Amino acid sequence: MSTMIAGANYPLLATPITAVQVAVQGTTLAGAAALGTTIGLVWIGIDQRREPMMTPAFLHVPTAWATVDGDPQTATWQLHLPDIAANVQSLMLVIYSYSSKSPLTQVNCQVASNAGMPVYSPALADSRDSAMIIAEVYRRNGDWKFRALAEGSPYGLAALGRNLHLALDERAPHEQSAPESGSGGAGGNPSGDEPNMWTGSAFAITPQHVLTCAHVVEGASKIELKSLLGSRSATVVAQDASSDIALLAVDGAPLTTMLPIRHGQVGLLGEPLTTLGYPLSGLVGQNLQVTQGCVSSLRGTQQDIRFFQFTAPIQPGSSGSPVLDSTGQVLGMVTSSMIQAQNMNFAVKHHMIMAFLEAVGVDLPTATPRPDQGLQNYSSQNSPQLVRQAQAALWHVTCYR
């Protein structure tokens, strides 16, 4: 039997099709069958902007377009592709541990289809994730294709959903409230409450402080930070909602790597820039993501002079990411994006950040400590140099309500 590796693609059928079956078989946890008891499955439909579409189809609450045939332990899914809305670009299959109670390390699964594709067995033995996207069925030039994936989240299904702007209930079926009549079996939070956990990005500016967006930490009762250096807890010490800036104090030993904030001249039209952050951590894991672009406007929406517009691609979870100039200094901080437009993203300007820090009494050193012992005079760097010097100052933010 031929097999498929993560990242591989396979055309489901060369001719028009009405349905495709994808089976997850042989799932075990500690030697016992686990599907539907400790392990769940869900199909999530998204459009070309990676925005969620349609009601998710859970193993325990299937929908009209995704049904389960036979015993849940074999979980043979019948996807009724003609019933998939035209604006749905792909369907992602997620396997997850109920309530994030355990990683997927002891789960064995195989994904196959009736289209004759090779069997795919995602590598879970060394995974620390409690939720993972293991497959995607997507449209390309009018045809449906299969992609083998292994994009996990150690924070579980709810965190993955938060990054997609989708409330997903990761509790076991017996722990959930029965869906209301007419709900269509929606797999989100049955109570309608806001998600209890969400993520963002932050960067260190002093040995005791990091900066992020005010909207990232709004409503949070607990804040955790993670980076290449380990984990820390943090608390909000000051924030300015109008400029979307929040200052966090970090517990534990002093931070050793910070980012310098630019002084003087504001960004120039067309100036190249780089963003570093942790977008969509539920989909791609807690891996630092780097994007590049340029300053495309010196004002934000409605001519707001506190912000500038830039073209580097960003995603949910990018809020709080630093926008760096070619010397590695902070030109601004990512705050928002126009979802309906392409690469219309916004950042609060560095001089607004400096004014905020002065108002709350935070002094910044003229030469911020960096891995190369600190540069008094910054010069242009190539992208790998810039990322290498800045990455230890970046922090993944997890907020709990």
Q: What is the pLDDT of residues 323-353, one digit of tens each?
A: 999 999 999 999 987 755 567 889 999 999 9
Assess if residue 112 is contained within a domain. Answer: yes
Assess if residue 374 is contained within a domain. Answer: yes
Assess if residue 180 is contained within a domain. Answer: no
Assess if residue 190 is contained within a domain. Answer: no
> Does residue 396 share a domain with residue 305?
yes
DSSP 317: T
Assess if residue 393 is contained within a domain. Answer: yes
The total of structural domains in the chain comes to 2
> Does residue 139 share a domain with residue 23?
yes
Spatial CA neighbour of 170 closest among 238, 228, 94, 65: 94
- Distant-in-sequence, close-in-space partners of 101: CB < 8 Å, separation ≥ 6: 38, 130
Between 298 and 17, the more confident residue is 298
Structure-token pair, residue 394: 């970046």
Domain that holds residue 392: 198-400
pLDDT band at 175 (very low <50, low <70, confident <90, very high): confident
pLDDT of residue 183: 25
pLDDT of residue 186: 23
> Does residue 366 share a domain with residue 234?
yes
Per-residue model confidence as pLDDT tens digits over 62-107: 788 888 777 666 667 787 877 888 888 888 889 888 887 778 876 6
> Does residue 210 share a domain with residue 98?
no
Assess if residue 187 is contained within a domain. Answer: no
pLDDT of residue 19: 63
> Does residue 205 share a domain with residue 159?
no
> Does residue 226 share a domain with residue 167?
no
pLDDT band at 360 (very low <50, low <70, confident <90, very high): very high
Assess if residue 182 is contained within a domain. Answer: no
Q: Name the CA radius of gyration of the chain, rounded.
A: 23
The arithmetic mean of pLDDT across residues 139-164, rounded, is 80
Quick check: 369 pLDDT over 90?
no
Between 161 and 339, the more confident residue is 161
Quick check: 248 pLDDT over 90?
yes
Domain end marker among 175, 209, 227: 175
Per-residue model confidence as pLDDT tens digits over 308-327: 999 998 877 788 999 999 99
**Stretch among 165-169, 177-181, 222-226, 296-300 having the lowest mean pLDDT:** 177-181
> Does residue 276 share a domain with residue 135?
no
Angstrom distance (rounded) from CA 20 to CA 22 = 7
> Does residue 351 share a domain with residue 208?
yes
The predicted model scores a pTM of 0.53
Quick check: 163 pLDDT over 60?
yes
pLDDT of residue 294: 94
User: Mean pLDDT, the chain, as a whole number?
Assistant: 78
The enclosing domain of 302 has a CATH number of: 2.40.10.120
Whether the CB-CB separation of 77 and 23 falls below 8 Å is answered with yes
> Does residue 362 share a domain with residue 301?
yes
The arithmetic mean of pLDDT across residues 196-210, rounded, is 90
**Stretch among 20-34, 175-189, 257-271 having the lowest mean pLDDT:** 175-189
pLDDT band at 283 (very low <50, low <70, confident <90, very high): very low
> Does residue 293 share a domain with residue 259?
yes
Quick check: 5 pLDDT over 50?
yes
The arithmetic mean of pLDDT across residues 290-300, rounded, is 91
> Does residue 317 share a domain with residue 271?
yes
Angstrom distance (rounded) from CA 360 to CA 91 = 47
**Stretch among 168-182, 285-299, 358-372, 381-395 having the lowest mean pLDDT:** 168-182
Domain end marker among 123, 142, 175: 175
Assess if residue 191 is contained within a domain. Answer: no
> Does residue 325 share a domain with residue 242?
yes
Burial of 312 (0-12, 13-18, 19+ CB in 10 A): buried
The enclosing domain of 47 has a CATH number of: 2.60.60.30
